[in-house]
Structure 1
């Protein structure tokens, strides 16, 4: 059941196929380089792209734009304490700003950071500190057809192997991302979070939860973890987040805002250290690079994100798209995650080797066939890692309707039907930092 109704609309247009072909070539076969006006259904990301509620729009008007001591900051601080359980908050302009503040504080040259699976900016921030980002996913995470309930879990066994190799003193940070974006948005169990807490204590490491999609994760826990069968999303979220020493958060996901993020902690010393770095890179600690009105919108959004009706509608829309694609014989990663459907490009283009980026080929074909923009999360986005060749279709929150989903399915079917004739891509130009190449690199057809 849909939990909201539209009060504002935006007209969108599907460019002609000829226009799409020209735009794709002009973008260097990288859809990050496309103009938004050239996209019909934009599933590039769910970060900051959703529709805000009427309560959030009303909150914008009371934004306190004071440089220091903003009332809007205190409302965000109160929301983080109530919803997430952490008393100390350092705001940032978005999630990667918060990553810079936290990991710049915790990591040094030669360190190792363990994560269930690092996402692109997380990996880049770890590497930027001279540290080594090491993924510790469970075995099923790399299998698009496995049906495990918590394929996003952190493998403590793999983490112990790494510690045996490098020594506990080299691992100051253990990170758990919920839901696990790079593992197809798969959820993480509370029991796994407890085990990671115990492991972090064993090696005297700071335990960080990347909480971007904490409410969506809690919804899966309520469904799949027997201990929490009768619990509310808000209760589960507080329980799970409470095992961490610190949170890093993009408020553009389950903060339901268009801008902003933060670091939160219950460690007073870590809070003071993060504040110092935040002043250098983000702004004074009571605005952190955000406008007061955006602080207000996020404070409201954090509370809305744990409302049962909202999060059920959110996750079920993603499931609907996955089911429609599966019924149309489009290979998808199963089970569906909380914020996106992930297409299995390797299954669609078995004749293309990883070196020719089958995921990026699919991204281009989706745009070419129907003006749909997704993002590759395979060998192009994560060079030098062993990842499935996946394409993420991330649904902006409270934005698209069933007719849009039907168009996405029709587009994907057309791409699959023409898959045998698809040719690969190679990198033509790329930035110096490999962890970030998919944002700006340009490609060209092979042959």
Structure 2
């Protein structure tokens, strides 16, 4: 059966040349970057799938809006436009602009968390958990167990397990839970969505205990699309209407506008509660800027307002998800293990299944991302043990069940031909996977280490010939490797 992938619902007006490098150059570049793709320069990458954060191609309408920037220090008309659009499409009474999503996370954590609190959520996210822990809270994962199995093909693997939430409330008391952080979608589970029914049930349970629900709304448009295409009763409902209903089950949200608001910088914190708004307005002056601009220029707020309107267009989001599905199908057909079902912003390769002979302490996802870059110039991101960081109490690594490489698709940037190149590179690495050893961490930052950690490769001292995957003993191969000397 022939699969159909919708054509781009836009035409290309401006182009940006991309770099084409040799393999020898890439081997040098990745070594200089400490085998961390975050430390590569953009001009060293041919196809950059590191992130979809701030890498959007803005529309002609957004660029036109940039020329209407009102850069007043207070009371910018662009803020008033953004406020109007957020109220219309998201439904929240108050908006506090920030320079990006983590600025909103910082404000939310500071105004709501007390030392000793617990913040439940449907799987951690790196910066979110860092802000929660910095303010004295403990993150508690309450996502459904199925989310930790990359091969289970279920429509809403981002759902909250209500029984886990009820047990947590009974164990610690509602007074120690300042809010529930609900990510829509769940990035580190592979971009998995939350069903409307689950959002409704979570809101009802939390309301009964006086617990606020705050969304990480970064990719809420993708979540709305999956509700439309996967959940009964929503096939004929518009993306805008689904989004508005989703937000009605929350007391507020953090937003990184660099994703589903289709801009290169900016974010905001929303809430309905007047007291929380006053607290956030006071703190934003200290950390970001005036409450009417936060960390954003007027022109950026105008681009964001227009981007929000564009984001609910079905043709846009349908094509975006189709591109992800196209790449995932290419890899799946080649036997490469990818997270199922495909999410809306990226394709996630299961690095544990790809490199079963590389122990998790040898950073298989980090290794695979580096190998993919050397093979092709495609830059991807590790989402596994490195991203998870360390347990604050024991000092040991957090050991997530999912050890993934994220191939993140920027919005409206690449074509299907680019994705063919990515697929070919992944397949080439997969064919030589038996010769890939792993990495050792040689520099480890204390906070959010995945951004700037440095590594060195492990080499097989016993033999150098290629080994076939079928010949690899999963339990003892990684012990054969020793740190390579960087030259």
Task: Tell me which of 401, 423, 427 is aligned to 2:437.
Answer: 423
Structure 1 residue 172 corresponds to structure 2 residue 169: no
Equivalence map 1:373-388=2 (5 Å): 373-383=379-389, 384-388=398-402
The corresponding residue for 1:33 is 39
**Unmatched runs of 5 consecutive residues or more in structure 1:** none
Query: 1:108: Cα distance to partner?
Result: 1.7
The corresponding residue for 2:230 is 224
The corresponding residue for 1:439 is 451
Equivalence map 1:119-134=2 (5 Å): 119-134=125-140
Pairwise CA RMSD of aligned residues?
Answer: 1.0
Aligned partners of 2:363, 2:216: CA distance in 1, in Å? Answer: 28
TM-score calculated relative to the size of structure 2:
0.90
Equivalence map 1:334-345=2 (5 Å): 334-345=340-351
Aligned partners of 2:401, 2:274: CA distance in 1, in Å? Answer: 38
The corresponding residue for 1:108 is 114
**Unmatched runs of 5 consecutive residues or more in structure 2:** 1-6, 390-397, 459-481, 483-487
Aligned partners of 1:87, 1:8: CA distance in 2, in Å? Answer: 38
Structure 1 residue 237 corresponds to structure 2 residue 243: yes
Aligned partners of 2:335, 2:83: CA distance in 1, in Å? Answer: 47
Structure 1 residue 400 corresponds to structure 2 residue 414: yes
Matched residues, number: 445
Structure 1 residue 262 corresponds to structure 2 residue 268: yes
Aligned partners of 1:104, 1:299: CA distance in 2, in Å? Answer: 27
The corresponding residue for 1:314 is 320
Equivalence map 1:287-306=2 (5 Å): 287-306=293-312
Query: 1:159: Cα distance to partner?
Result: 1.8
TM-score calculated relative to the size of structure 1:
0.98
Query: 1:100: Cα distance to partner?
Result: 0.6
The corresponding residue for 2:472 is none
The corresponding residue for 1:281 is 287
- What is the SS of the residue equivalent to 1:380? helix
The corresponding residue for 2:17 is 11
- Counterpart contact for 1:172–1:204, Cα < 8 Å: no
- Counterpart contact for 1:278–1:285, Cα < 8 Å: yes
Stretch deviating more after TM superposition (202-211 or 62-71): 202-211
Larger radius of gyration: 2
Aligned partners of 2:289, 2:349: CA distance in 1, in Å? Answer: 39
Query: 1:199: Cα distance to partner?
Result: 2.1
The corresponding residue for 1:52 is 58
1:246-302 per-position Cα deviation (integer Å, ceiling 9, x unaligned): 111000011000000001112111111111111110100001010111000000001
Aligned partners of 2:215, 2:179: CA distance in 1, in Å? Answer: 10
Aligned partners of 2:443, 2:162: CA distance in 1, in Å? Answer: 38
- Counterpart contact for 1:318–1:340, Cα < 8 Å: yes
Q: Which runs of 4+ in 1 moved over 6 A?
A: none
